[in-house]
Amino acid sequence: MAPARRAHHARRDRGRRPSPRDRRGARRPRDGLVVRAAAPTDFAGRPGIRGGRLGAIELEPLALAPVIEILATVCAGLFAGAAIYVSVVEHPARLECGTRIALAEFAPSYRKGVKMQAGLALFGCAAAVTSWWYVGDHWLLAGGVLLGSVVPLTLLLILPTNRRLLDAGLDPTSPEAANLLQRWGSLHAVRSVLGATAFLMLLVHLHAQ
């Protein structure tokens, strides 16, 4: 090849941007996104493990732990607030209206409240335990278990009283009806204490982060 032609090709090659083939497959990561290759069989799921791997893309579930903890704290706060309201305001007010009116108001209040309170307790407990699974702090586990404990408490101790209060055959003027309403208020107060304690534990831990 003539010297003039070789010099022309050299100048052209210097001005040409390298193609992906020339770079041998090197990829430039997008702004703010770094993807690292990982073994597809390396999964993480124990406390203290920072992240896991799914396929060939490395995941960082630990980054979601603060968000999950916030959700758990919010659920515990909503549950505690609603439970305390019932203990301090609603139930005493229904008792002041007399047994007949209290029984009539208890049924619709129970049907609407049980859906919200059960959902908050279960979701909050699951979120707190999940956050503990990633972080490994037993304070989160204790708060989640304490919040979730209101479910077995309700099923084992409070549900029989609920069913009797909802029984259409219960005489609203009988001493039994008045005693059942008083008993329900005392049992529900335990739920209020458990929910408030769980909320305070999760809130203190969240504030300390």
How confident is the model over 62-83, as a mean pLDDT? 92
Q: What is the pLDDT of residues 170-193, one digit of tens each?
A: 999 999 999 999 999 999 999 999
When the pLDDT of each residue in the chain is averaged and rounded to a whole number, the result is 81
| % the chain with pLDDT above 70 | 70
Q: What is the pLDDT of residues 112-135, one digit of tens each?
A: 999 999 999 999 999 999 999 988
Check pLDDT > 90 for residue 31.
no
Helix boundaries (H) for the chain: 3-15, 65-85, 91-96, 99-135, 138-148, 150-153, 159-166, 175-208
The two beta strands, 57-59 and 52-54, are: antiparallel
Of the two residues 33 and 202, the one the predictor is more confident about is 202
Q: What is the pLDDT of residues 87-115, one digit of tens each?
A: 999 999 999 999 999 999 999 999 999 99
